[in-house]
């Protein structure tokens, strides 16, 4: 038993030490990201609008496109990359680029009132829909400015943190056999008090840490998971069009939108990507629909509509790994239960910072104690 506990202690110590610095950064940057939507909405200062319901009549999407890229539009001659229907804001966002081949860094967004089509704000390249510092925190939280390599690295750190959490739970039982739950021995030494606090915060946050850790790992794998879907299921669907050029003249986007709604009755359209050889289909509108309940609103279903003819091509089933990804994203940031859940997520994030901070202190204090003990040994004694 003692040997087993020593092994678990070794696992706990080294898995914790390897990931602590990175997890501290992730927890600090994640705290404001929990309130990303609220901060961004306040920063934009958009006029208030009632959320969209399933029976809300939206502005004609063809008129919307014409008002953006038509001769007298805000960005005449530009390329529309995507449309996103923001239900909670009562807006439709349009992603634009100077040309199809333009770098993604030159993309910009025009925000419209979803009911009237009025332009809420026409952004220019380099402008953002949230504060720049929030975007920097998001990059630091997700990939440390290292792209896919950074995502994989942070996923490995999250895995180490899960190992540290599980090993900590294993050690917690024997440690607390003679102590009441939640005991912090205030009369003992500072190191013992910090150890008790570390154990208390760790066991209180264990369920949340596992939840956020697992969903964080899934989120970090979003790029390769989407690439797998495009290279397998989507590629098979596109086989009949493989050697055709991209359509020069697009079919009505409003008609494609209505086709998707007929194909998925009872659902609403979440977003619509124009023909795109990099992120969608070069020959289709890729339309993502979602359900009306709290759960199904997070599960998007793809619909492919031929961009030349407007005919429905397919409604491929969502593979399990993309379903897991779509469920993980909102759960990771506490987006399922409105502001009460976000506040709870923030409190648990702060507690996790306490776990990491007290763990780092305990390791440093132990090394100092050992160094002091070595320093007091008489080197001439034999």
pLDDT at 139 over 60: yes
Closest CA to 357 of 8, 25, 3: 25
- DSSP secondary structure string for all residues of 236-279: HHTGGGTTSPPPSSPPPHHHHHHHHHHHSTT-EEEEEEPS-TTT
Do the domain assignments include residue 230?
no
Closest CA to 114 of 180, 58, 65: 58
Taken in order 156, 161, 166, 171, the sign of the CA dihedral is: positive
> What are the backbone angles phi and psi of residue 187, rounded to the nearest 5°?
-85, -10
Residue found under tokens 């009632």: 50
Do the domain assignments include residue 142?
yes
Question: What H or E segment, with its residue span, contains residue 95?
Answer: strand 91-97
Whether residue 125 sits in one domain with residue 81: yes
Whether residue 140 sits in one domain with residue 32: yes
Whether residue 152 sits in one domain with residue 126: no
Do the domain assignments include residue 228?
no
The boundaries of the domain holding residue 29 are 2-37+136-220+337-375
Distance separating alpha carbons of residues 272 and 281, to the nearest angstrom: 11
Whether residue 155 sits in one domain with residue 124: no
Whether residue 173 sits in one domain with residue 33: yes
The confidence score (pLDDT) of residue 188 equals 87
Q: Strand order in 312-314's β-sheet?
A: 119-122, 108-113, 91-97, 79-86, 268-273, 284-290, 301-306, 312-314
Mean pLDDT of 292-310: 90
Percent of the chain whose predicted confidence (pLDDT) is above 70: 96
Whether residue 312 sits in one domain with residue 163: no
With left for phi above 0 and alpha for psi between -120 and 50, is residue 310 left, alpha or beta?
Answer: left
Do the domain assignments include residue 350?
yes
- Indicate the range of 65-79, 162-176, 177-191, 277-291 predicted with least confidence: 177-191
Distance separating alpha carbons of residues 84 and 110, to the nearest angstrom: 11
pLDDT greater at residue 376 or residue 219: 219
**Looking at residue 281, what DSSP letter applies?**
-
Planar angle of CA 281, 284, 285, nearest 5 degrees: 100
Cα-trace Rg, the chain: 26
Q: Which residues contact 235 (CB under 8 A, 6 or more apart)?
A: none
Q: pTM higher than 0.85 for the full model? A: yes
Q: Which residues contact 73 (CB under 8 A, 6 or more apart)?
A: 66, 67
Whether residue 325 sits in one domain with residue 243: yes
25 near 140, Cβ under 8 Å?
yes
Residue 236 vs residues 287, 288, 321: alpha-carbon distances, Å: 18, 19, 18
pLDDT at 381 over 60: no
Whether residue 216 sits in one domain with residue 142: yes
Whether residue 96 sits in one domain with residue 159: no
Query: What average pLDDT does the chain have?
Result: 90
pLDDT at 377 over 50: no
Whether residue 261 sits in one domain with residue 195: no
Side-chain-facing half-sphere of 326: CA atoms under 13 Å: 21
Do the domain assignments include residue 254?
yes
> What are the backbone angles phi and psi of residue 99, rounded to the nearest 5°?
-160, 170
Cα–chain center distance at 133 = 17
Band (pLDDT 50/70/90 cuts) for residue 289 is very high
Distance separating alpha carbons of residues 25 and 21, to the nearest angstrom: 7
Domains identified in the chain, total number: 2
**Which of 299, 314, 330 corresponds to the end of one domain?**
330
Do the domain assignments include residue 346?
yes
Do the domain assignments include residue 232?
no
Cα–chain center distance at 8 = 32
Do the domain assignments include residue 226?
no
pLDDT at 318 over 70: yes
Band (pLDDT 50/70/90 cuts) for residue 146 is very high
Cα–chain center distance at 236 = 28
Whether residue 268 sits in one domain with residue 326: yes
For residue 3, with 0-12 CB atoms within 10 Å meaning exposed, 13-18 middle and 19 or more buried, which class applies? exposed
Mean pLDDT of 25-34: 96
Distance separating alpha carbons of residues 157 and 163, to the nearest angstrom: 10
Whether residue 49 sits in one domain with residue 31: no
């Amino acid at each position: 038993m003692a040997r087993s506990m020593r092994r678990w202690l070794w696992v706990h110590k080294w898995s914790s030490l390897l990931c602590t610095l990175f997890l501290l950064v992730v927890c600090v940057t994640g705290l404001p990201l929990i309130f990303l939507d609220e901060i961004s909405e306040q920063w934009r200062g958009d006029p208030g609008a009632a959320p969209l319901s399933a029976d809300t009549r939206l502005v004609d999407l063809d008129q919307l496109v014409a008002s953006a890229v038509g001769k007298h539009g805000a960005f005449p001659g530009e390329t529309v990359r995507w449309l996103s229907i923001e239900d909670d804001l009562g807006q439709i966002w349009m992603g634009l680029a100077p040309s199809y081949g333009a770098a993604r860094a030159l993309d910009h967004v025009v925000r419209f009132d979803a009911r009237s089509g009025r332009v809420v704000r026409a952004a220019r390249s380099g402008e953002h829909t949230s504060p720049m510092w929030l975007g920097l925190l998001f990059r630091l939280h997700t990939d440390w400015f290292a792209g896919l390599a950074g995502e994989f690295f942070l996923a490995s750190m999250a895995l180490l943190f899960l190992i540290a959490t599980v090993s900590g739970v294993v050690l917690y039982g024997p440690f607390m056999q003679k102590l009441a739950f939640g005991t912090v021995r205030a009369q003992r030494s500072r190191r013992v008090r910090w150890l008790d606090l570390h154990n208390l915060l760790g066991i209180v946050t264990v369920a949340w840490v596992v939840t956020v850790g697992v969903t964080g790992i899934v989120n970090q794998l979003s790029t390769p998971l989407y690439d797998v879907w495009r290279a397998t299921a989507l590629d098979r669907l596109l086989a009949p069009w493989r050697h055709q050029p991209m359509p020069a003249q697009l079919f009505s986007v409003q008609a494609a939108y209505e086709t998707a709604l007929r194909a998925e009755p009872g659902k609403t359209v979440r977003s619509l990507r124009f023909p795109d050889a990099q992120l969608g289909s070069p020959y289709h509108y890729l339309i993502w629909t979602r359900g009306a309940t709290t759960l199904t609103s997070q599960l998007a279903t793809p619909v492919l509509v031929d961009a030349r003819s407007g005919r429905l091509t397919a409604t491929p089933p969502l593979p399990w790994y993309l379903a897991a990804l779509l469920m993980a994203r909102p759960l990771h940031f506490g987006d399922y239960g409105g502001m009460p859940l976000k506040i709870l997520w923030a409190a648990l994030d702060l507690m996790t910072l306490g776990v990491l901070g007290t763990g780092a202190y305990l390791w440093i204090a132990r090394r100092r104690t050992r160094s002091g003990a070595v320093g007091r040994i008489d080197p001439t004694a034999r």
